[in-house]
Structures are given as structure tokens and as C-alpha cells.
């Protein structure tokens, strides 16, 4: 189920939808046979923009989580494997930073990042990565500590295998399952954070069809054209629900 959902989203993301095609003669048209989800204030097809938004909201969220999981797992493996007094001090310091980052609200980090770097796509993704790596680092650290004393790890060490080889060949596959489960939940959080930042004007900027930015544009017309808000909001809820369902199965 999870891979079918991912494949469907990938197909939608690679198609070039007419997201900027305008029809001023049919501005704010309600859903009809011609425009299944209606048109916006510029006569653009809302369905095309929602489908085009998969590339931005889902794609950027997935990309940010991919970077986060790589950074987090590398940090977690390294600190979980370290041994000796000095190494443990370093690991403790790193995990203290991890605990601090995990405790910070994602939107707060996004606001600070936007204040430093300015609003836009890069600051929004940067904020998601800054928040996203820490949970994976904590999880990978805990799992690495739990398996580094296993017989098969000790056997590899006794045969002269180096730490990098052991971590890559033995430890990483052993902790991959829980990391994959955590990845789905973090993807949903990253997608919602990106949409939230764009809605506040700090993320992806109009006229890019990112769902949060579409919500921000559509709220001005919410009472006369509610489909402008309902369509991107439903897309966010649907993808979040499908991702959660795929994770459970």
C-alpha cells in the first residue's frame, strides 16, 4: 500500500500540469464539468494547481525528510557507537543538542530561519531539515546502543572489522525497520510544516502552486469561492491520511 501511494504521487508530480494557464473570462467559476474543482481569481484551473502542487508540497517535504534522515542516522550511529570516557562526553553533548532541537516547535524554527534568511523555498526547507534530523539521531543512537553488544557485532569486531564497515553492513540494516516507520510520520510533519510556513508567507511564494500558498491566496475569496480553500486543504488531509494508512499497513 505504501509503495502504491508513493508511486501514484510520483506519477502526478512528474506530469506537467497547466498550473499557470489563465482564463479571465471564467474567473472564480464554481466546480463544473469544464473545471472539476472550479477556477481561481485569475481563471486558473484549481484541479490542475492542486495536482501540480504535489511536486512542491509532497516533493519538497519528502526531499527535506530524506536529507534529515541521512544526517540524523549518521549522527545517531556515530554517537551510539562511541566508547570510552571522552567519546561518551561527546555523545552526551550531541544528544543534549538533539533533545534541545526536538523540544523546539517547528514553526518557531521556521519563523527564526525566515527572519535570518528571508522568506522563500530554501529557508523553509532549511528549517524543516534543522528540525527533522534530531528525532532520527535520537532513534538511531538508541537503537545502535542496543545492538552494539550483540554477539554478531562482537564477532565482527573480533575478526578485525572496522567500525565503519560494521555500522554499514551490520548495524544499519538492523535499525532500518524502526527508522523507516519513523520516516513516514516525519514526512507528514514536514509536509504540514512546509504548508504552514507557505501559508504564513514564509515558505514557497505565489504563484507557485504549493498547497499552503494556495490556501493563503484562497482565503481572501473563501466566502465567495470556498473551493479555493477546500481543494488544497483536502489535498493536505488526504495525503496525510494516506501516508498514515500506508505506515500502519
The overall average pLDDT reported for the chain is 87
Confidence band for 249, pLDDT divided at 50, 70 and 90? very low
Structural domains of the chain in order of their starting residue, each with its CATH number: 2-12+38-248 (1.10.3720.10)
Range scoring the smallest mean pLDDT among 20-29, 110-119, 172-181: 110-119
The helix (H) or strand (E) run that includes residue 143 is helix 121-147
Mean pLDDT for 209-233 is 94
Mean pLDDT for 199-223 is 91
Mean pLDDT for 175-191 is 88
CA distance 85 to 206: 53
3-class secondary structure per residue, the chain: CHHHHHHHHHHHHHCCCCCCCCCHHHCCCCCCCCCCCCECCCCCEHHHHHHHHHHHHHHHHHHHHHHHHHHHHHHHHHHHHCCCHHHHHHHHHHHHHHHHHHHCCHHHHHHHHHHHHCCCHHHHHHHHHHHHHHHHHHHHHHHHHHHCCCHHHHHHHHCCCCHHHHHHHHHHHHHHHHHHHHHHHHHHHHHHHHHHHHHCCCCCCCCCCCHHHHHHHHHHHCCCCCHHHHHHHHHHHHHHHHHHHHHHC
Angle at 180 between CA 202 and CA 195, to 5 degrees: 15
* 8 A C-beta contact, residue 43 and residue 55: no
Contacts of 101 (CB under 8 A, 6+ apart): 130, 131, 133, 134
- Report pLDDT digits (tens) over 41-63: 999 999 999 999 999 999 999 99
Amino acid at each position: 500500500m505504501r509503495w502504491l501511494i508513493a508511486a501514484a504521487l510520483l506519477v502526478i508530480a512528474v506530469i506537467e500540469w497547466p498550473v499557470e494557464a489563465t482564463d479571465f473570462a471564467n474567473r472564480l467559476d464554481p466546480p463544473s464539468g469544464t473545471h472539476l474543482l472550479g477556477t481561481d481569481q485569475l481563471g486558473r484551473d484549481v484541479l490542475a494547481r492542486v495536482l501540480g502542487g504535489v511536486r512542491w508540497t509532497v516533493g519538497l517535504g519528502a526531499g527535506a525528510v530524506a536529507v534529515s534522515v541521512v544526517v540524523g542516522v549518521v549522527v545517531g550511529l556515530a554517537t551510539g557507537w562511541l566508547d570510552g570516557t571522552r567519546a561518551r562526553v561527546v555523545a552526551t553533548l550531541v544528544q543534549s543538542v538533539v533533545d534541545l532541537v526536538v523540544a523546539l516547535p517547528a514553526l518557531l524554527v521556521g519563523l527564526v530561519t525566515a527572519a535570518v534568511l528571508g522568506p522563500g523555498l530554501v529557508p523553509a526547507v532549511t528549517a524543516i531539515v534543522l528540525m527533522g534530523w534530531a528525532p532520527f539521531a535520537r532513534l538511531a543512537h538508541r537503537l545502535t546502543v542496543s545492538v552494539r553488544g550483540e554477539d554478531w557485532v562482537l564477532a565482527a569486531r573480533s575478526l578485525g572489522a572496522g567500525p565503519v564497515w560494521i555500522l554499514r553492513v551490520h548495524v544499519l540494516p538492523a535499525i532500518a525497520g524502526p527508522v523507516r516507520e519513523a520516516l513516514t510520520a516525519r514526512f507528514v510533519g514536514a509536509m504540514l510544516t512546509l504548508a504552514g510556513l507557505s501559508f504564513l508567507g514564509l515558505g514557497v511564494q505565489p504563484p507557485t502552486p504549493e498547497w499552503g500558498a494556495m490556501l493563503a491566496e484562497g482565503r481572501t475569496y473563501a466566502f465567495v469561492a470556498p473551493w479555493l480553500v477546500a481543494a488544497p486543504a483536502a489535498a493536505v488531509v488526504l495525503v496525510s491520511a494516506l501516508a498514515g494508512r500506508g505506515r500502519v499497513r
